[in-house]
Amino acid sequence: MTLKNSMILLTAIVVLSLIFVQWLTHKNKLISGMEVPSTTDLFLERCDKHQALVTDCIYCYPELREYGRLWCEEHDRYEDRCFICHPESKEANRLWCEEHKLYEDECFFCHPELGKAGKKSTDEEGTFFKKSEGQTTVFEDIQCVEHGVPEKECGICHPDLLGTLQPGQGLKIRLESHASAEKAGILTATPTPGNSRAGFVVLSRTAYNQNQLARITPFVSGIIYRVLVDAGDAVSKGQVLVEIISPEITGAKNEYLSALANEALNETLFKREKGLVEKKISSQQEYEHALAAYHIAKNTTAMIRQRLMNYGLTTEQLPDPAGSGSISSIFQILAPFSGTLLDRSAVVGEAVEPGDILFSLADLSSMWLELSVPEDGLFRIQLGDSVEATFDALPEVTVQGRVIWLASGIDEFSRMMKARAIVPNPGASLKQGMFGEVRILPKQDQQILYVAVESLQRFDGKSYVFIKKSVDLFEIRNITLGGKDPEYIEILKGISPDEEVVVTHSFTLKSEFLKSRLGAGCVDE
> Does residue 260 carry a pLDDT above 70?
yes
Position 227 scores a pLDDT of 95
CATH 2.40.30.170 fits 200-211+363-440, yes or no: yes
Position 21 scores a pLDDT of 58
Q: Which CATH number fits domain 164-193+448-517: 3.20.20.140, 3.40.190.10, 2.40.420.20, 3.40.50.300?
A: 2.40.420.20
State the number of CA atoms in the 13 A half-sphere of 69 facing the CB: 23
Cβ-contact 495, 489 below 8 angstroms = no
Q: Which of 63, 65, 76 is nearest to 36 (CA)?
A: 63
Instruction: Judge if pTM exceeds 0.75.
Output: no
Phi-psi label, residue 288: left if phi above 0, alpha if psi -120 to 50, beta otherwise: alpha
Instruction: Tell me the pLDDT band of 25, cut-offs 50, 70 and 90.
Output: low
Q: Which fold has domain 230-356?
A: Helix Hairpins (1.10.287)
Distance separating alpha carbons of residues 442 and 385, to the nearest angstrom: 8
Task: Return the percentage of the chain with pLDDT > 90, whole number.
Answer: 31
Q: Which of 333 and 322 is assigned the larger pLDDT?
A: 333
> Does residue 365 carry a pLDDT above 90?
yes
**3 state SS for 421-477:** EEEECHHHCCCCCCEEEEEECCCCCCEEEEEEHHHCEEECCEEEEEEECCCCEEEEE
Name 110's Cβ contacts closer than 8 Å, sequence gap at least 6: 97, 99, 100, 104
Q: C-alpha dihedral over 239, 241, 235, 307, to 10 degrees?
A: 50
Phi-psi label, residue 484: left if phi above 0, alpha if psi -120 to 50, beta otherwise: beta
> Does residue 10 carry a pLDDT above 90?
no
Over the stretch 45-57, which tens digit does the pLDDT of each residue have? 777 776 667 677 7
- DSSP helix/strand/coil, 502: strand
Sign of CA dihedral 40, 46, 51, 57: negative
Q: What is the mean pLDDT of residues 34-60?
A: 62
Q: Which of 65, 39, 55 is nearest to 47 (CA)?
A: 55
Instruction: Tell me the pLDDT band of 215, cut-offs 50, 70 and 90.
Output: very high
> Does residue 43 carry a pLDDT above 50?
no
Any idea where the domains of the chain sit in the sequence? Answer: 46-140, 164-193+448-517, 200-211+363-440, 230-356
> Does residue 85 carry a pLDDT above 80?
no
Start-to-end C-alpha separation, the chain: 76
